Amino acid sequence: MKNNGFKRISALILAAAVFVSAMSGCGKSKRASDAASSGAASGSTSATGLKDTFTYAQGSDPRGLDPALVDDGESAKVMCNIYEGLLKYNKNSTEVEPCLATDWNISPDGTKYTFHLRKGVKFQDGTGFNADAVKKSIDRQLEPNVTDNMPYASFVFGSKKKKSGVKEVKVVDDYTVEIDLFSAETPFLKNLAMIMAAPIVSPTALKKYNNLNEHPVGTGPYTFVSWEKGQYIKLKKNDNYWGDKAKTENVVFRFIKENSARDVALTSGEVDAIDGISSNDVSQITSSGDRLFSADGMNINYMAYNVTSQKFKSAAARKAFSEAINVPELVKSLYKDYATPATSIMPKFMNPDGFSSIKQTPFNKAAAKADFAKAGIKSVNMITYSNPRPYNSVGGQMLAEAIQGYLKDVGVTCNVKTYDWTSYTSVVKKGDYDICFYGWVGDNGDADNFMNLLDDSDPSMNVARYSVPAYHELIAKGLMTPNGAERTKIYTQCEQKVAEDDVWLPISHSNNLAAYSPKVSGYYCHQTGVTPFAGVTVTK
> What pLDDT does residue 524 have?
84
How remote is the C-alpha of 1 from its chain's centroid? 32
Query: Does residue 22 lie in a domain region?
Result: no
Q: What is the helix, strand, coil percentage profile of the chain, to 5? A: 30, 25, 45
Contact between 293 and 525 under an 8 Å Cβ cutoff? The reply is yes
Query: Does residue 25 lie in a domain region?
Result: no
Alpha-helix runs per DSSP H in 33-130: 35-41, 73-79
Give the angle 266-270-276 at the CA atoms, nearest 5°: 35
Strand 158-159's sheet: what is its strand order? 101-106, 112-117, 176-181, 164-173, 158-159
Query: Does residue 69 lie in a domain region?
Result: no
Q: Are residues 302 and 286 in the same domain?
A: no
> What pLDDT does residue 13 have?
39
Determine the 3-state secondary structure of 156 from DSSP.
helix
Domain span holding position 273 = 35-64+215-294+514-538
Query: Does residue 30 lie in a domain region?
Result: no
Query: What are the strands, taking DSSP E only, across 4-127?
Result: 53-58, 87-89, 96-98, 101-106, 112-117
State the Cα–Cα distance between residues 76 and 280, nearest whole angstrom: 26
Main-chain dihedrals φ then ψ at residue 188, nearest 5 degrees: -60, -45
Contact between 514 and 22 under an 8 Å Cβ cutoff? The reply is yes
Q: Are residues 428 and 308 in the same domain?
A: yes
Q: Are residues 110 and 194 in the same domain?
A: yes
CATH of the domain at 500: 3.10.105.10
Q: Are residues 41 and 113 in the same domain?
A: no
Q: Are residues 179 and 286 in the same domain?
A: no
CATH of the domain at 254: 3.40.190.10
Main-chain dihedrals φ then ψ at residue 76, nearest 5 degrees: -60, -40
Determine the 3-state secondary structure of 54 from DSSP.
strand
Q: Are residues 492 and 533 in the same domain?
A: no
> What pLDDT does residue 352 have?
64
For the chain (540 residues), the mean pLDDT of every run of 10, in chain order, is 39 37 35 35 54 95 96 94 97 93 96 98 98 98 96 92 95 98 95 97 97 98 98 98 98 92 94 87 89 88 97 97 98 92 89 73 97 95 91 93 97 97 92 96 91 91 96 94 91 95 96 92 87 96
- Tell whether pTM > 0.75: yes
Torsion angle (degrees, nearest 10) of CA 278, 536, 256, 269: -90
State the Cα–Cα distance between residues 239 and 497, nearest whole angstrom: 52
Q: How many domains does the chain have?
A: 3
**Sign for the pseudo-dihedral over CA of 390, 394, 397, 399:** negative
> What pLDDT does residue 17 have?
36
CB-based contacts of 191, cutoff 8 Å, min separation 6: 155, 156, 157, 198, 443, 444
Query: Does residue 138 lie in a domain region?
Result: yes
State the Cα–Cα distance between residues 361 and 170, nearest whole angstrom: 48
State the Cα–Cα distance between residues 522 and 498, nearest whole angstrom: 41
Q: Are residues 429 and 377 in the same domain?
A: yes
Q: Are residues 377 and 492 in the same domain?
A: yes
Query: Does residue 24 lie in a domain region?
Result: no
Report cis status (omega within 30 of 0) of the bond before 144.
Answer: yes
State the Cα–Cα distance between residues 365 and 281, nearest whole angstrom: 33
Residues in the chain: 540
State the Cα–Cα distance between residues 349 and 93, nearest whole angstrom: 12
> What pLDDT does residue 246 have?
98
State the Cα–Cα distance between residues 508 and 515, nearest whole angstrom: 22
Q: Are residues 358 and 289 in the same domain?
A: no
> What pLDDT does residue 68 have?
98
Q: Are residues 328 and 416 in the same domain?
A: yes
- What is the 8-class DSSP label of residue 430? H
How remote is the C-alpha of 519 from its chain's centroid? 28
Q: Are residues 315 and 440 in the same domain?
A: yes
State the Cα–Cα distance between residues 90 and 237, nearest whole angstrom: 22
